[in-house]
Structure 1
Amino acid sequence: MRLTARGAGLCAAAAALLAVGLIFGYRHLVVLGTACVASLLFAAGYVWWRPRLTVSRGVEPDRVMGGESSTVTLRVGNTSRFRGATLVAHDRCGPASVPVPLLRLRAGGETTAQYAVPTARRGVVAIGPLRVVRRDPLGLMALARGYGGTAQVWVYPRVHRLSAVPTGITRSLDGRDDRVPHGTITFDTLREYVVGDELRRVHWRTSARVGELMVREQLDTSLPRLVVLLDDRRASYPDPELFESACEAAASLVMAAFREELPIALRLLSGRHAAGNATRDYLDLLAEAEISDISEKSIEELRTRRAGDTLVYLTGDPDLSRVSALKTAYPTLVAGVFGEAAPALERVVVLAVRDGTEFAAAWDGVRTW
């Protein structure tokens, strides 16, 4: 509960009137001061009454690409059996506040309100709770209460189609690395049979030994294992829009890898990472990524434990000395530098671009894939 500017003025006037009236014996001033106090007490009692509201919230969809539509649906019910309510509530939507008018909400009634979530920028939009501010008729006091839960909308970076992908590296049994345009299928591991597996992949000898069907898992050793390393240091981006472009490039690489069924790992320089078979995990990480003052963790990890054979480093810093140290660990090394020209490096494909669109064009223009 808080006093408005009018309420604070009335409170000060009440104190002054009562003090002067009681000290100097002016009864009329005492009456006026008492009336001011009564008004404040009435205002406090009025705003203290809590509307009995139920709030349910739905967001559809809760994950969208930048610029796509997402809608919040609020269902607000008045569970009071006797009193109606006429209120103006506000629902938090990211940094903004969306007014939700609740006009003549009768006892036992329900109303529905909808509004669009702003999805122009990448990020995670926090929604809710519904905030109801109750004011007295004299405008002396106000009391805000929250209703309902919260939700989130993940706004993914825009994706630019990449038509070119690395060809991959085949690892032969004697240790040689050969570039080939097609894959080589080899045995990887055994697992339990599940409905839908092909019977020709059942390993009958092992199945007889363990007493249940076991299936061979096979791996294409020529498929490139892509590692995308996104620089999320604040010092690397003099313009925050460059980081947005780097996120678009990372999202484009993720979607291209899944389209071509290539294994990929996504890492932030701060240490967060995503890997697996669901694009949602990668895009969620990119939606949540923020530039900050961080300590570098991923460079040393990638140097000591190689995570793939093609490393793509995305940054706004033209100083590539950090990633150039990984040349011995990764046969293919690509650096996408946003905003400034970057020096050419031996055995490193440097793409100096300004935004995600230019990155896609420069990526498809590389002839060494």
Structure 2
Amino acid sequence: MRLTARGAGLSLATVVLLAVGLVFGYRHLVVLGTAGAAALIFAAGYVWWRPRLTVARSVEPDRVMRGESSTVTLRVGNASRLRGATLVAHDRCGAVSVPVPLLRLKAGGETTADYPVPTARRGVVAIGPLRVVRRDPLGLLALARGYGGTAQVWVYPLVHRLTAIPTGITRSLDGRDDKVPHGTITFDTLREYVVGDELRRVHWRTSAKVGELMVREQLDTSLPRLAVLLDDRRTSYPDPERFESACEAAASLVMAAFHSELPIALRLLSGPSAGDRTARAYLDLLAEAELVETAEHSIEELRTQRVGDTLIYLTGDPDLSRVSTLRTAYPTLVAGVFGDARPALERVVVLAARDGAEFAAAWDGVQAW
């Protein structure tokens, strides 16, 4: 509850009138001061009454690419059976306060308001709660309360089409990429024996129990073959727009990998990572990514914690000396640098670009991986 400018003036006048009237015996001033105090008490009781409102909010869709449309539908109802309500309400949508008309909302009535979500910038847009301000008829006091829950809209980076993507070193014998590579390191499951399976993979104990030959299915733990490392340190991006370009490049790589049915891992230098069978987890991570002051993980950790055989490092820092130390751990090492610098390193594919579209063009310009 807060005093308006009018309420503050009346409060000051009430104190002065009562003080002067009581000290010097002016009854008329005491009457005026008492009337002012009564007005303030009435205003406090009026605004303290809490209207019974029902708030339902829906967002469609709640995940969009940058620039695409998303709409919030807000339904506000007066649950009171006796009293109507005339209120001032605003719904929070990111950094914007959206006015919601609640004029003469009858008892048991309902009103609906639609408004667009700002999607011009990548990020997570927080929506709600509905902020209802109740004022007294004299305009002396105002009290704001929150109604309803909250919602979020994930605004993904723009995705640029990539025509090719490195597939790493694991390939099938017939020359194509092996979508389900068979390794010899990690046990995965048991399956029935088929002609051509090596007898050394037969699990004899299980075969004796079920009455038929069962072989061990093993997967190569070097997967996922593609790993995207996004530098999210604030010091690497003198211009924050370069970080937006790096996020666009990461999103483009993720979508290209899913289109080619290739496994991929995404990791931020500050720690958060994504590795899922759906693109949603990756794009959610990119929408939530923000610049940080320091990174918990160092680039050198990727030497011992190898996450693939093709590492794609995206940064705004032209100094790639630390990344170059990973050349012995990753057969293919790609560095995407966003800015005006054009660094070059031996045995590292360096793609310099100013934005996501230029990165996609430079990527497709690579002759062979």
* Structure 2 length-normalised TM: 0.89
Aligned residues: 360
- Tell me if structure 2 keeps the 8 A contact 1:316–1:340: no
Distance 2:211 2:46 in 1: 72
Distance 2:345 2:129 in 1: 52
In structure 2, the gaps of 5 or more residues are: none
Query: What amino acid does structure 1 have at the position aligned with 2:68?
Result: E
- Equivalent of 1:186, from 182, 201, 205? 182
Q: Compared with structure 1, are the counterparts of its residues 25 and 84 closer, same or farther at alpha carbon in structure 2 (3 Å cutoff)?
A: same
- Tell me if structure 2 keeps the 8 A contact 1:90–1:98: yes
1:248 Cα shift?
0.3
Distance 2:303 2:242 in 1: 26
- Tell me if structure 2 keeps the 8 A contact 1:230–1:250: yes
Alignment of 1:170-209 (within 5 A): 170=170, 182-183=176-177, 185-186=181-182, 189-191=187-189, 208-209=207-208
1:134 Cα shift?
0.3
Alignment of 1:181-330 (within 5 A): 182-183=176-177, 185-186=181-182, 189-191=187-189, 208-209=207-208, 211=210, 225-330=225-330
Distance 1:294 1:132 in 2: 40
Alignment of 1:328-339 (within 5 A): 328-339=328-339
- Tell me if structure 1 keeps the 8 A contact 2:43–2:140: yes
1:342 Cα shift?
3.4
Distance 2:224 2:272 in 1: 22
- Tell me if structure 2 keeps the 8 A contact 1:267–1:298: no
Q: Compared with structure 1, are the counterparts of its residues 211 and 18 closer, same or farther at alpha carbon in structure 2 (3 Å cutoff)?
A: farther
Alignment-derived partner of residue 11 in structure 1: 11
Query: What amino acid does structure 1 have at the position aligned with 2:189?
Result: R
Query: What amino acid does structure 2 have at the position aligned with 1:186?
Result: H
Distance 2:118 2:190 in 1: 46
1:204 Cα shift?
10
CA RMSD of aligned residues (A): 2.9
1:224 Cα shift?
7.5
Q: Compared with structure 1, are the counterparts of its residues 215 and 90 closer, same or farther at alpha carbon in structure 2 (3 Å cutoff)?
A: farther
Distance 1:88 1:253 in 2: 47
**2:183 equivalent to 1:155:** no
Greater shift, 106-115 or 155-164, is seen at 106-115
For each residue in 1:239-284, what CA deviation from the matched residue of structure 2 results, as whole angstroms up to 9, or x when unmatched? 1111111000000000000000111110101011111211111000
Query: What amino acid does structure 2 have at the position aligned with 1:297?
Result: H
Q: Secondary structure at the match of 1:326?
A: helix
Distance 1:257 1:210 in 2: 42
Q: Secondary structure at the match of 1:246?
A: helix
Alignment-derived partner of residue 175 in structure 1: none
In structure 1, the gaps of 5 or more residues are: 173-177
1:301 Cα shift?
2.6
Q: Secondary structure at the match of 2:152?
A: strand
Distance 2:273 2:209 in 1: 37
Q: Secondary structure at the match of 2:328?
A: coil
1:42 Cα shift?
1.1
1:205 Cα shift?
7.3
Query: What amino acid does structure 1 have at the position aligned with 2:362?
Result: A
